[in-house]
Structure 1
Amino acid sequence: MVGTLPPVTTVPLPRRPRDPSDHARHWYENELGWPTVPGSPPGLRLGVHFDVLDMPAEAGRAALRHLAPGSPVALQGDRMRLLVAAGSAEELPGVLAWLEWGALALDLTATGEGGLMDAPEPPGARRLPPGLPGAPQGAAVWLRPPEPGCEVEASLPTLSALGGGGGAPDLVRLVDTVATHCHRLRLRRLSVQPLAFS
């Protein structure tokens, strides 16, 4: 009589610890409908739902009064990122030229289609305090986070001629304010530098 073998029991492989960026990607993709790129932190694809104006945080603070309350704003280090309507990055050089800021070197850039932005941690995410091992240094954070379920794109600054109007802030006024404060900041920084005499 041939003995029967006991049934084979398979043991599942140990689970990998969940990557913290998975939570962020899930929030952006499923709660907001924003496409992301894997990574730690994940990247937000620009030019799909919004473009980004990037400037010194000090200059960007003045622009906040021109934004609708629901307009998302991110900080990363000493940089502020204002979300603006998709397609605005292409318009920035023309708007700056029209406002007569085009000839000056401003610390103001716009990134749109094909660009990426580090995804700030979703609101309420558990973060390690700065200085502890594993805590991200200079990580992006939301100053004004987007709200799931709200039509974020409707509150973003846009050119009035391109269908802005409604409750959306005007991109031209926003850019003029930001350019003015970027220029003032630049002049202030230049005035504190010692003069070089040869």
Structure 2
Amino acid sequence: MTAAPSHLHGPAPVSRRRWYEQALGWPVADGPPVQLLTGVRFDALGLPVDAGLAVVQRLPPAGPVAFDPQARRIWFLTAAGSAEELPGLIEWLEWGGVALDLTAQGLDGRITAPSPVGGVPGQHGPGDGPGAAQEAVWLRPPRTGCEVEPTLPAAGLGGEGAAPGLVRLVSAAATECHRARLLRAGAARRRQPSGDRPDQPLAFSYASRMSAGTRPRSLTL
């Protein structure tokens, strides 16, 4: 049987590792798949795909963003050390106790290294392009020859240049994760036979939280 052309599988692991180590100076771990080590040059904030895409559209472009179809996550690269800030920020933003499906990778963490070939804005995205069902790709790729740190969301309300602050990113991420969860739950509820639908409204809806006086800070940022 003739092997499939190599370009359909993306760059070979050795080439991918070399690109990250030499072109970007990022630490990586051997695969397969090759993985980017977090907690050194950057951390990573992970969201479900629907929420992540909403945040990409909502905030000004800043910092690399990756899509991992295997994990069904969108990863926003953030300043190193920011993963440790996430639990406190969630509480401060008054999202504590809400199932947000919002995660972070920091020291000793890792994410799948996206294909350097697929890192062209508008060329690939969730569900597009050759191998998109398997390959991690950049939705917003890093720029070679440039330090990544100044472009990353960091602690505070405003990052350097156009980069949103970590607080603003987490605020938007929490809001979109909650909205996506409610939309998914509502869609699942509508698919149920009318006699099987629960009478209890969805917990933690915006209306219920506002009427209870627990409006999230996220809605005010």
Q: Shorter-chain TM-score: what band?
A: 0.7 to 0.9
Which residue of the other structure, out of 23, 34, 38, is the alignment partner of 2:26? 34
TM-score by length of 2: 0.70
Which residue of the other structure, out of 186, 190, 193, is the alignment partner of 2:181? 186
Query: Hey, what's the Cα distance between the residues in 1 that align with 2:103 and 2:27?
Result: 22
CA RMSD of aligned residues (A): 2.2
TM-score by length of 1: 0.78
Aligned length: 169
Matched, 1:104 2:98: yes
Please identify the structure whose Cα radius of gyration is greater.
1
After superposition, where does 1:60-79 map in structure 2 within 5 Å? 60-64=52-56, 65-69=58-62, 71-77=63-69, 78-79=72-73
Residue 82 of structure 1 and its aligned partner are, at CA, apart by 0.5
What residue ranges of structure 2 are gaps of 5+ in the alignment?
Answer: 1-10, 120-128, 199-221
Percent of pairs with identical residues: 51
Q: Contact 2:36 / 2:111 at 8 angstroms: preserved in 1?
A: yes
Partner SS, residue 146 of structure 1: coil
Q: Contact 2:40 / 2:80 at 8 angstroms: preserved in 1?
A: yes
Match of 1:94 in 2: 88
Query: Hey, what's the Cα distance between the residues in 1 that align with 2:21 and 2:111?
Result: 14
Give the counterpart letter for 1:129 in structure 2. P
Q: Contact 2:152 / 2:159 at 8 angstroms: preserved in 1?
A: no
Residue 124 of structure 1 and its aligned partner are, at CA, apart by 5.7
Query: Hey, what's the Cα distance between the residues in 2 that align with 1:137 and 1:63?
Result: 22
